[in-house]
Structures are given as C-alpha cells and as structure tokens.
Structure 1
Amino acid sequence: MQIIQNILLVIIGFSGGIAVAGGVFAFISILGIIPRMADRLGLASHIYQMETVIAIGGIAGSFMTVFQVHIRMGMAGLAIFGLFAGVFVGSLAMALAETLKVIPVLCQRTNLRFGLPVLIVSLGLGKALGSLYQLCFCPH
C-alpha cells in the first residue's frame, strides 16, 4: 500500500511540476523576452540555442531545488550568479511592464516629455538599492 501511495505522489508531483513549468515558459514566451534579447544582442541566428539554454537552466534549477544540491562557488561565483539572476528578473519585469504599457501610460498621465531614460534608470536603481537594503539590513 505504501508503494502505491508513493507512486501516486510521484505522479501527482511530476504532473504539477510540468504544469507549472509549462505555465512559466508560456509566460516568458508570450512576453517575447528571448526574441527581443536575441534581436538587441544581434544573436537572432542563435535563438534556438538561447531557448535551449534557458530550458536547461530551468531543469537544472528544479533539480538543484528538489535534491538540495550545494555548489561551492565563493563570493565571485555568487556575485556572477546574482548578476545573471538580476538581469533575468529585470528583463522579465521590464518585458511585463512593456507588455502592459505601464511606461507609456505613466508618461501620458504625468505629462512627461523629457527624461524617460532617467526614469527607467531610476526605477532600476531603486529596485537594486531596495534589494541591497533588504539583503544587508533586514534580519533573516
């Protein structure tokens, strides 16, 4: 009876994981992050490789989370990982904001004519400084 229960739990967990992963990747593809980044970086001919690497990263992250794999990489490796994770989250947030037309609506309602690049950089710096404050000064 215990074996059947464990097999059923594995099937339910695996099915739920596939559903969530499918939703996340569908969300990323609807936002068009990969083609937009490939176009801006001049790597449009390598878009399939970029999508493959992102899928492998998602699978590796899931594997490391489920099996609690620890990788010793030191402070430099942690900084590099943090940079890449921040770039991804920032790209996702800006793509979502662009899709929802947040910036144009904000500019229209505030009659903002000049300084849009300053506004975008300020949003990014505010997010970064808020994250650093939380990391350094908030108790864990």
Structure 2
Amino acid sequence: MATAAGVFALITVIGMIPRMAGVTRTGHRVRIYETAIALGGGIGNLVDLCNFPLPFGIMGLSLFGICCGIFVGCLVMSLAEIVDVFPIMIRRCRIKVGFWTIIVAMALGKMIGSFLLYGKHLFS
C-alpha cells in the first residue's frame, strides 16, 4: 500500500491529471478523472492484497494490458516534461560550473535509497 501511495503522490506532483485534461480539452471532467484514478488504485490494492480471482479471460487481459500501456506512456511523457526543467533551472540559477555534482548527488541518493530499501532483506 505504501507503493500505491507513492504512485498517487507522484501523479499529483507531476500534475498528470490536469495536464491530460488540458491536452484533451476536457478540463470540466477533471473530477471524474481523479475519482477514476482513486477508485482504480483502491480496487487494485484490494485485489492484490486479498488475492481475488478475476475471471475476465484473454479479452479482459488484453484490455487491461492496453490500459496499463496507455497509463505508463502518459506517466513517462509527464516525467519527460519535468526533465526539461533542468536546462531552465541551470539558466535561471546561473549555474556555470558544478552541475555534474547535482546530477551525481541525485544518482547516489537514488542508489543508496535503493540499497537501503532492497538490501535490508539481505541482512535481516
């Protein structure tokens, strides 16, 4: 459930829902989008935690795969737009030298965080 909360936080921080509503010109339906994502996350958690069998067959699995692909594509595009912020930040903050240290620090932070998260099972 913590992972689901992290995904919801990521979706909120990157502004994926308002961005998609703006692109599709359906801003008046943002409440429906938010409700659908919250219900999908909640129901997905229940199905995963309680091991409910879902007898939807090959067609249901195909539809689920397509929807997952669309979601991942939207998420990747939203993250790609955030990466475009780095050149703007460098210009605005007038960073001339040492930008590589910021990148290395971010990478090391991700690496150490991953080791702490996944490595704790190795030593317990």
Global fold match (TM > 0.5): yes
2:69 corresponds, among 77, 86, 94, to 86
Q: Secondary structure at the match of 2:51?
A: coil
Q: TM-score, normalised by structure 2?
A: 0.63
Bigger RCO (CA 8 Å, 6+ sep): 2
Per-residue deviation, 1:38: 1.0
Q: Secondary structure at the match of 1:93?
A: helix
Per-residue deviation, 1:20: 4.1
Between the aligned partners of 1:31 and 1:47, the Cα distance in structure 2 is 15
Match of 2:53 in 1: 70
Between the aligned partners of 2:31 and 2:51, the Cα distance in structure 1 is 29
What RMSD over aligned residues (CA atoms) do the two structures have, in Å? 1.8
**4+ residue runs of structure 1 moved beyond 6 angstroms?**
none
Percent identical among aligned pairs is 42
Per-residue deviation, 1:76: 1.4
Per-residue deviation, 1:23: 2.8
Between the aligned partners of 2:32 and 2:70, the Cα distance in structure 1 is 19
Q: Structure 1, residues 87-116: CA drift from partner, whole Å, max 9, x if none?
A: 0011111111111129x8xxxxxxxxxxxx
Match of 1:138 in 2: none
1:60 corresponds, among 43, 49, 52, to 43
Match of 1:38 in 2: 21
Instruction: Identify unmatched segments of 5+ residues in structure 2.
Output: 88-124
Q: TM-score, normalised by structure 1?
A: 0.56
Q: How does 1:120-135 map to 2 (within 5 A)?
A: none
1:28 pairs with 2:8: no
Instruction: Identify unmatched segments of 5+ residues in structure 1.
Output: 1-16, 105-140
